[in-house]
Structure 1
Amino acid sequence: MTRILHILDHSLPMHSGYTFRTRAILKAQQALGFEVRGVTGLRHTAGGPCVEEADGLRFHRTEGSVSGPPGWREWREIGRFAQGIESVVRDWRPDILHAHSPALCGQAALRVARRHGLPLVYEIRAFWEDAAVGNGTGSEGSLRYRLTRALESRVVQRADAVVTICEGLRRDLVDRGTPESKITVMPNGVDLSLFGSPPDRDAALARDLGFETGGKSCPVIGFIGSFYDYEGLDVLIEAMPALVARHADARLLLVGGGPREAALRAQAENSPAADAIRFVGRVPHHEVERYYALCDVMAYPRKRSRLTDLVTPLKPLEAMAQGKLVAASDVGGHRELIADGKTGTLFAPDDPAACAAALAGLLADRVHWNSYRTAGRNHVETRHDWRTNAGRYQDVYQMLSHISLPRGIVAAA
């Protein structure tokens, strides 16, 4: 049985978009007949044993810590992570190393792959220098930005195969000089086994949040996720007075937290539509579906930036899988996922008036809600189901070398 060792920034039992995509990949590969494990670096901050089982998956932890000035500290981190990977390679003897961004993971894996003559797949989920700009921890063009980009380019150049999650990232790598034949697009996907019948609307919770007027349910716009600036939640809050002017009973539900939470709460308190906006903070993962069930429309008003134009988010796909209407800003990452007027509604980014008009139009168009929901669910099932998309990995692995596929698997022509 072919063994794949995944090299990861962090993993379950931590919860993030990164760990959920990792879980989906590893579970789908197990179903295809591969034997899989993961090894995490020093940025996996959850306590636990050095070898940990989570959701039926085995993860090895790199132990220790590093210090020093920026740059030197990261180089030490790569070295320590390489030692952790090396330990798993010696004990478990994988056939392929599959590293996932950031480039620190890729560089650590590259050292071990070359030392042991193993093929290396490097998978890019986002350019982390752009993600740092987006979440406010970096600035475009800074020394750190340029060094991170240079390290990523080095790993891409030396890896045996490269995987990206979307066309935007693929095009950027090609523009940098990466051969197109070296890159495979593995779209963001949803494990549909986790999205069966959505739970019923919790009437008591809806009443507690003020989502009923005159005994009738209010239409609810929802966002569930992290409150980063690039998500554009300030645009959504600014759009609410115009939306309420057209739909007096409309409500906005914001679930989650993050760096922008305090500023967003202050903005909402000072809004003319303050009474229509509800913050509930972070909720346990098992509670998230209760809040999804309250929402009619999931809104994703991302601002235009390199990050949002290049990278496809996971949340709109999860919303479609749950039969929710989707309204999103017209940035590159959303255009890869949403067909305007068919599977959702797109509106001009960074424009509260356009956001309000799109949401108001969607709320007024109830006659087409079922067609939107059906088209969205079908889109996820046909193009973003992990059970199908994960089969592309076997083609990537087969191309690398003499590796034999697990019994029962046939590489695509």
Structure 2
Amino acid sequence: MSQNLRIGYLVPQFPGQTHIFFWREVLALEQMGHHIDLISTRVPPPGLIAHDWSQEAMARTTYLGMVQPLLALTAAGRLLPRGLPLWMAQHGAGFARDIVLTLSAAEQLVRHAHAEQLDHIHVHSCGRAALIAALAHKMGGPPYSLTLHGPLSDYGPGQRFKWADAAFATIITRKLEAEVREELAGFLPERIVIRPMGVDTDILHRDTPYQPAPHGTPMRLFSCARLNVVKGHQDLMTAVRLLLDQGVDVRLEIAGEDDAGGAGYRKVLEAELKRLHLRDHVKLLGAIDASAVRQKLLNAHVFVLASWHEPLGVAYMEAMACGVPTIGTDAGGVRELITDGRTGRLVPPKDPQTLAHAIRDLVHDSDLAVQLAAAGRAHVVAHFRSALGAETLVSEIEAARVSAAPSPDPIVTGRQAS
């Protein structure tokens, strides 16, 4: 085995409510013998700090913090002769603003990386965190890499700048890879690997076989995602209303919180519950710990997430790993995870009526529910274990280090010298 690495692991606003898969990857990397230095941009709002490991993670995370003018001026002085004005002019006003906001963080990252003797920085984002790593690298910081978790349009301006000097990149779906190769042709690292974030299938499993809802009892539905309009919770609520009106007894629990810690889109969903007369049938649980999510999955008869767009869907993976029949939307890259009728069910996004029909099918066909539960679990174990992401990250860092190492001088023999 190669030497142990010292890896800076940069995640924006860590640890957030959806960051359990980052934490699992960190633990897998450490189990492989590597030193992981957690780095983030800022602490998340209190309402989003939900996991039993959150305090441990925050205690060992270095936060690059707010803009510090003196550090920003130092970074600007370093970068001026390297082309800072040209970069800002080439990529537009939005990118120039992002640079101003990240200069001091980049300076902090350089200093931190040197102090901790980090071999590499991996950024789980292509937003401002990626810009911080790219600027730090231009100031003499360590090599860096990126993971793209969603459409490029979600991650702000200057994508060519962020990707051009990366040692490598991982992308979670083939669909996103095609987008990147088209939009960033000529500015991509040599190595691009398709590797989704995975889940811990040793923890996410059931000790007893899955049991469908007994005849005459309510079907327990569970959903888990941040409270945002694009997650389609409002469509799922409408589907529940349709099912109840058709005489199908269902109960729904939704785990997750909005980005404002409960003061944002949650208010919209609460009003929707009142409008649809669902407050006795649907509960908003807020942000809950990963162990609580697991227990909810094991108690559920069906997992449903009605996203309008989902790059892949770790929540789907977790449900499938727990052997729960899973219904998702055919949006984004979800079909790279769920095959309709084989490992789960796929319905069109923004279509509550078809969603209700898919749920009703599982109410009436317990054999199908059992089949999907088993097939979904097997698929995730084979292709989406969290250890696979850690192994890919290490192998790509090692390959990049070998590629960047200077070639040894050729050995000149006596015969060649004569």
With the shorter chain as reference, the TM-score category is: 0.7 to 0.9
In the alignment, what sits opposite 1:386? 386
1:110 aligns with 2:134: yes
> How far apart, in 2, do the equivalents of 1:372 and 1:197 lie?
15
- CA drift at 1:296: 0.9
Deviation sequence 1:294-349 (CA, Å, 0-9, x none):
3211111112xxxx26x112100011111111111111322111111111111122
> How far apart, in 2, do the equivalents of 1:356 and 1:166 lie?
28
1:327 aligns with 2:330: no
1:278 aligns with 2:287: no
Q: 2:196 aligns with which of 187, 212, 236?
A: 187
In the alignment, what sits opposite 2:101? 77
1:287 aligns with 2:311: no
> How far apart, in 2, do the equivalents of 1:249 and 1:32 lie?
48
The 3 A distance-change label for structure 1 pair 256 and 122 is closer
In the alignment, what sits opposite 1:164? 171
Tell whether the 8 Å contact from 1:213 to 1:249 is kept in structure 2 after alignment. Answer: no
Uncovered stretches (5+) of structure 2, i.e. residues with no partner:
73-92, 259-263, 405-418
> How far apart, in 2, do the equivalents of 1:58 and 1:351 lie?
44
**1:363-382 residue pairs with structure 2 within 5 A?**
363-382=363-382
Deviation sequence 1:166-210 (CA, Å, 0-9, x none):
222211110113458531112121022332446999xxxxxxxxx
In the alignment, what sits opposite 1:15? 16
> How far apart, in 2, do the equivalents of 1:196 and 1:327 lie?
18
Q: 1:302 aligns with which of 295, 307, 310?
A: 307
Q: How many aligned residue pairs are there?
A: 365
The 3 A distance-change label for structure 1 pair 290 and 196 is closer
User: Alignment partner of 1:194: what SS?
Assistant: coil
Of 317-326 and 19-28, the range deviating more from structure 2:
19-28
Q: Which TM-score applies when normalising by structure 2?
A: 0.77
User: Alignment partner of 1:4: what SS?
Assistant: strand
Q: 2:9 aligns with which of 6, 10, 16?
A: 6
Q: Which TM-score applies when normalising by structure 1?
A: 0.78
Of 176-185 and 314-323, the range deviating more from structure 2:
176-185
- CA drift at 1:81: 1.2
Tell whether the 8 Å contact from 2:120 to 2:142 is kept in structure 1 after alignment. Answer: yes
Tell whether the 8 Å contact from 2:326 to 2:344 is kept in structure 1 after alignment. Answer: yes
> How far apart, in 2, do the equivalents of 1:328 and 1:231 lie?
11
Of 264-273 and 101-110, the range deviating more from structure 2:
264-273
**1:11-410 residue pairs with structure 2 within 5 A?**
11=14, 14-17=15-18, 19-42=19-42, 54=56, 58-65=60-67, 74-116=98-140, 118-127=142-151, 129-130=153-154, 148=156, 150-178=157-185, 181-197=190-206, 217-258=217-258, 259-271=264-276, 275-303=280-308, 308=309, 311-402=311-402
User: Alignment partner of 2:139: what SS?
Assistant: helix
- CA drift at 1:387: 1.8
User: Alignment partner of 1:302: what SS?
Assistant: coil
> How far apart, in 2, do the equivalents of 1:386 and 1:10 lie?
21
> How far apart, in 2, do the equivalents of 1:63 and 1:57 lie?
15
The 3 A distance-change label for structure 1 pair 27 and 280 is closer
- CA drift at 1:246: 4.1
- CA drift at 1:255: 2.9
Tell whether the 8 Å contact from 1:222 to 1:299 is kept in structure 2 after alignment. Answer: yes
The 3 A distance-change label for structure 1 pair 389 and 120 is closer
Tell me which amino acid in the other structure corresponds to 1:15: G
Of 333-342 and 28-37, the range deviating more from structure 2:
28-37
> How far apart, in 2, do the equivalents of 1:197 and 1:66 lie?
49
Structure with bigger strand share is: 1
> How far apart, in 2, do the equivalents of 1:380 and 1:221 lie?
21
- CA drift at 1:6: 1.8
The 3 A distance-change label for structure 1 pair 66 and 73 is farther
Tell whether the 8 Å contact from 1:7 to 1:85 is kept in structure 2 after alignment. Answer: no
The 3 A distance-change label for structure 1 pair 104 and 220 is same
Tell whether the 8 Å contact from 1:189 to 1:386 is kept in structure 2 after alignment. Answer: yes
Q: Which one has a bigger Cα radius of gyration?
A: 2
Aligned residues: CA RMSD = 3.4
Tell whether the 8 Å contact from 2:16 to 2:44 is kept in structure 1 after alignment. Answer: no
User: Alignment partner of 1:401: what SS?
Assistant: helix
Tell me which amino acid in the other structure corresponds to 1:92: E
Uncovered stretches (5+) of structure 1, i.e. residues with no partner:
132-147, 202-211, 405-413
User: Alignment partner of 1:54: what SS?
Assistant: helix
Tell me which amino acid in the other structure corresponds to 1:24: R
Tell me which amino acid in the other structure corresponds to 1:188: M
What percentage of residue pairs aligned between the two structures are identical? 18
> How far apart, in 2, do the equivalents of 1:70 and 1:43 lie?
24
User: Alignment partner of 1:402: what SS?
Assistant: helix
Tell whether the 8 Å contact from 1:199 to 1:289 is kept in structure 2 after alignment. Answer: no
